[in-house]
Homo-oligomer: A and B are copies of this chain.
Amino acid sequence: MASTTYHPGAPPLQVAQWFNTREPLTLEDLRGRVVLLHAFQMLCPGCVEHGIPQARRVHEAFPSADVVVIGLHSVFEHHAVQGTPEALQAFIHEYRLRFPIALDRHEGDGSIPLTMRSLSLSGTPSLVLLDRQGRIRLHHFGHLDDLRVGAVLGQLLTEPTPEPLPDAAAGTSAAPSGPAGCDANGCPLPDDTPDAMH
Residues of A whose CB lies within 8 Å of any CB of B are 42-45, 48-49, 57-58, 61-62, 78, 80-82, 84, 86-87, 90-91, 94-96, 145-159, 182, 187
Please measure, in the bound complex, the distance between the C-alpha atom of A18 and the C-alpha atom of B146, giving whole angstroms: 30
Closest to A87 in B: B81
In the complex, the answer to whether B91 meets A86 with C-beta atoms within 8 Å is no
| 6 contacting pairs across A/B (C-beta < 8 A) | A81-B81, A81-B87, A81-B90, A94-B182, A146-B147, A148-B150
8 new A-B contacts at CB < 8 Å, known A48-B48, A58-B147, A155-B155: A44-B94, A78-B94, A80-B86, A146-B146, A147-B150, A149-B150, A151-B154, A154-B158
Q: Which residues of B contact A147 (CB under 8 A)?
A: 57-58, 61, 146-147, 149-150, 153
Q: A153 contacts which of B42, B81, B154 (Cβ < 8 Å)?
A: B154
Most buried by B among A86, A155, A187: A155
Docked CA distance A100–B88 (Å): 27
Q: How far is the CA of A155 from the CA of B158 in the complex (A)?
A: 6
Nearest chain B CB to A65 CB, angstrom units: 13
Query: Quick one: closest B residue to A43, CB to CB?
Result: B94
- Residue of chain B at shortest CB distance from A79: B90
A158-B3 Cα distance, complex, nearest whole Å: 11
User: How far is it, in angstroms, between the C-alpha of A78 and the C-alpha of B152 when the chains are bound?
Assistant: 38
Cα separation A148 to B95 with both chains bound (whole Å): 24
- What CA separation (Å) do A81 and B147 show in the bound complex? 34
* A82 / chain B contacts, CB cutoff of 8 Å: 90
Once the chains bind, are B61 and A145 in contact (CB under 8 Å)?
A: yes
Q: Which residues of B contact A94 (CB under 8 A)?
A: 43-45, 78, 182, 187
Given contacts A147-B61, A147-B146, A149-B147, contact A43 B154 (CB under 8 A): no
